[in-house]
Amino acid sequence: MNSRVRIKDLWNEQRIFLSRTVAAMTVVGLLSLALIGKLVYLQIVRHDYYLEASQGNRVRLEPVPASRGLILDRNGKVLVDNEPAYQLELIREQTPDLDDTLHRLVGLGMIAPEDVNQVRRTILAHRGFDSVPIRLRLTDEEIGRFAAHRFEFQGVDLHTRQTRHYPYGQLGVHALGYVAAISEEDLEKIDRAKYAGTTLIGKLGVEAAYENQLHGRNGYREVLVNAQGRSVERQGAYTPDLKSEAPTAGTNLQLAIDLATQQAAETGLGTHRGAVVAMDPHNGDVIALVSHPGFNPSLFERGLTRDEFATLNDDIDKPLFNRALRGTYPSGSTIKPVIALAGLTYKVVNPDKEEFCAGVYHMPGSALLFREGKTGRHGNVDLVHAIARSCDVYFYGLAHELGVDRIAAFMAPFGYGALTGIDISGEKPGLLPSPEWKKHYFKNPADQVWFPGETINFGIGQGYLQVTPLQLAHVASVLGTRGKSYRPRLVTGFQDSMGRTTPFAPNANPDITNVADSDWAIILSGMEGAASYGTAAAIGKGATYTIAGKTGTAQVFTVSRSAKLTQNEPERLKDHAWFIAFAPAEDPKIAVAVLVENGGFGASAAAPIARAVMDAYLLNKEPDPPAAGGKP
């Protein structure tokens, strides 16, 4: 190759060029086939996979919460419903400066300064482009205030959401319960998928016990989103067809509660601590259930601050404590009709035989003295009068004759010491004492022995015996129906969206069959006596129906036997006042148990409340205007 000057060989160049052109076009063809092959792979072979991926990109499922079922009283009056409320929501991605925005919201009074950190954490915990509630249940004034400054808060806006509304405020809060934000413990119990979109869950009472029915079924809605996660209306020039499923509203609950009666009970208790339970003895329907003091159920929904909860929780009056179901007290003399029935049934007492009451009882074979309570000496009393006038001495003797085993065995079917089985949770069983119980309960062998004196005290409902107001309402029902027993219930039926109600049959317990009709009649006449000429004679005055009742006084602490009972003892050391009743006596439609903590004597503190409740139910007598505000 030393020929420095090569001649251009045009013919050869042409030949080479043509062969190169053919080669190049072959490569072009092969590469084009490779491209088309890749396209076929993507668009035909893996089309389904990529179609799903693109669908997953563009569509976000947004839950549509079902509206929670209503709670109605026995006449269909709405006790709990839903109400749209304004809340403040923030979208992080649309807020230029989160900290500055929060700071200015504090300045506007929309957020409490101490809540800022919690709010920021909540915002940061949400997904992108979520509208995060930062303040619930705005007042009209707050809505106006924010609306005037809305333009200054980019990314923050007012939204309406369904919230739970309690038109009567605190009324029946311990029966109805309340709703609150779903907690971590709740999350473990519920099916999270079903609760997507739900923010509130029933926490107590009917709201909690019937959560499944009230919740309904949430729907969903497909939302078109762009790459930034923002929801958009259109995809290019088109509005795509998006799927959605409407939510199914929760079931409405028909309660046995009678609004007027409930109001009468609430009004009757007034500022006292205590409880009222009223039931229909023929089916166990709870007509009224009150525990005072109550609390405002709406507080929990908007979320209590730590301080607010502490205030409620540490309140000396224990407003969060459901006394009707969980408060256990000695039954006091309300036990006497049952002890009397036991005496009659075991034939240890002659109802017509009069005993002499000198105000003090000497226990046979012992030096122990048992004093009469506040009612003084009764002179000669037969069984009917002993009930009506609540003669302790008579029942000391009767209890001694019966013995503790027979008393405990006889009382058990009445529901003492056992859960009544009411359809809301939290109930306490109380305590029906017996030698057997004592043997197991105490660790110290010296305490495990049942002393005869304890039987004497048992006869007048003091000592170890513990009952709840609900249990005594149940006992009153059993006494009123001569042995019929039903499980108490608040909810009597489900109402569907068309307004059709499916009622439930009452839950009957085994009847008490070992008591003779004539014996029931004796007890009835004793209890009628109590409400007409006996200890609670005052409440029978002017009644257009017959009342059978029994007062009771539960000792808060055992007064030294020699100490004089005075009216000067501190308020909270006074005895609890009981009254149980049913009316009309011959065929009762309502049975009531009233407990007034530290009310002193049952006849004066508790009985008038029971009368007001029975009047409201039997005569449709309107009570005084309800204490709690709200629409009628």
Partner 1 sequence: MIREEVQSSAARRTLSASARLLGALKLDGPLLVGLGLVVTYALIVQFSASGQDLPTILRTLFRVGLGIIVMLALARTTPNFLRNIAPWLYLAGILLLLVVVVMGHVGKGAQRWLDLGLIRFQPSEIMKLAVPMLAAAFLHDRPLPPDWRALLILAGLVALPAGLVAMQPDLGTALLIFASGALLILMAGLPVRVILLLFALGVGAALVGWRFLHDYQRERLLTFLNPESDPQGASYHINQSQIAIGSGGLFGKGWMNGSQAQLDFLPERSTDFIFAVIGEEFGLLGAVVLLLMYLFIVSRSVYLASQTSDTFSRLLASCLALTFFVYVFINAGMVCGLVPVVGVPLPLVSYGGTSVVTLLAGFGILMGLHSHRKLVGS
- Is 125 a binding residue for partner 1 by CB under 8 A? The answer is no
51, 147, 148, 358: residue in contact with partner 1 (rule CB under 8 A): 51
Give the interface segment with partner 1, choosing from 29-37, 165-173, 262-270, 422-430 (CB under 8 A): 29-37
Residue 239 CB, nearest distance to partner 1 (Å)?
A: 10
Of 591, 609, 599, the closest CA to residue 549 belongs to 591
Give the interface segment with partner 1, choosing from 6-14, 61-69, 512-520, 614-622 (CB under 8 A): 6-14
Nearer to partner 1, 31 or 573 (CB): 31
- Is 24 a binding residue for partner 1 by CB under 8 A? The answer is yes
Collapsed DSSP state (helix, strand, coil) of residue 574: coil
Residue 223 CB, nearest distance to partner 1 (Å)?
A: 12
Strands (E), 203-346: 219-224, 244-245, 252-255, 274-279, 286-292
Of 453, 461, 464, the closest CA to residue 361 belongs to 453
117, 226, 514, 620: residue in contact with partner 1 (rule CB under 8 A): 226
Instruction: For the segment 233-272, give every residue that binds partner 1 (CB under 8 A).
Output: 234-238, 240
Collapsed DSSP state (helix, strand, coil) of residue 163: strand
- Is 17 a binding residue for partner 1 by CB under 8 A? The answer is yes
3-state SS track over 434-458: CHHHHHHHCCCHHHHCCCHHHHHHH
- Is 9 a binding residue for partner 1 by CB under 8 A? The answer is yes
Residue 62 CB, nearest distance to partner 1 (Å)?
A: 16
Q: Hey, how many other C-beta atoms are within 10 angstroms of the C-beta on 406? A: 17
Nearer to partner 1, 144 or 229 (CB): 229
Asked if 466 and 400 touch (Cβ cutoff 8 Å), the reply is: no
Sheet order of strands, 286-292 included: 286-292, 274-279, 590-596, 576-583, 548-554
Instruction: For the segment 325-344, give every residue that binds partner 1 (CB under 8 A).
Output: none
- Alpha carbons 468 and 424: distance in angstroms, whole number: 15
Size of the site for partner 1 (CB under 8 A): 47
- Is 128 a binding residue for partner 1 by CB under 8 A? The answer is no
What residues have CB less than 8 Å from 148, skipping those under 6 apart?
none
Residue 15 CB, nearest distance to partner 1 (Å)?
A: 9
- Is 502 a binding residue for partner 1 by CB under 8 A? The answer is no
Residue 162 CB, nearest distance to partner 1 (Å)?
A: 31
Residue 225 has, within 13 A of its CA and on its CB side, a CA count of: 18
**Cα dist from 414 to 226, 511, 630, whole Å:** 67, 9, 39
**Helices assigned H by DSSP within 335-493:** 336-345, 383-388, 392-402, 404-411, 435-441, 452-458, 469-480
- Alpha carbons 289 and 276: distance in angstroms, whole number: 6
Collapsed DSSP state (helix, strand, coil) of residue 323: helix
- Is 61 a binding residue for partner 1 by CB under 8 A? The answer is no
Question: Catalytic residue among 291, 298, 331, 333, which?
Answer: 333
Nearer to partner 1, 55 or 311 (CB): 55
Residue 220 CB, nearest distance to partner 1 (Å)?
A: 19
Q: Would you state the structure tokens that stand for residue 466, as one six-digit string?
A: 């513990």
Nearer to partner 1, 21 or 75 (CB): 21
- Is 42 a binding residue for partner 1 by CB under 8 A? The answer is yes
Residue 318 CB, nearest distance to partner 1 (Å)?
A: 54
Nearer to partner 1, 224 or 537 (CB): 224
- Residues 348-377 as b/e (b if ≥16 CB within 10 A, e otherwise) read bbebeeebebeeebebeeeeeebebbebee
Residue 157 CB, nearest distance to partner 1 (Å)?
A: 23
Nearer to partner 1, 75 or 226 (CB): 226
Of 152, 160, 155, the closest CA to residue 136 belongs to 160
**Residue 333 bears catalytic tag:** yes
- Is 44 a binding residue for partner 1 by CB under 8 A? The answer is yes
Q: Which residues bind partner 1 (CB under 8 A)?
A: 6-9, 12-13, 16-18, 20-21, 24-25, 28, 31-32, 34-36, 38-40, 42-44, 46-47, 49-51, 53-55, 57-58, 224-228, 232, 234-238, 240
Catalytic residue IDs: 333
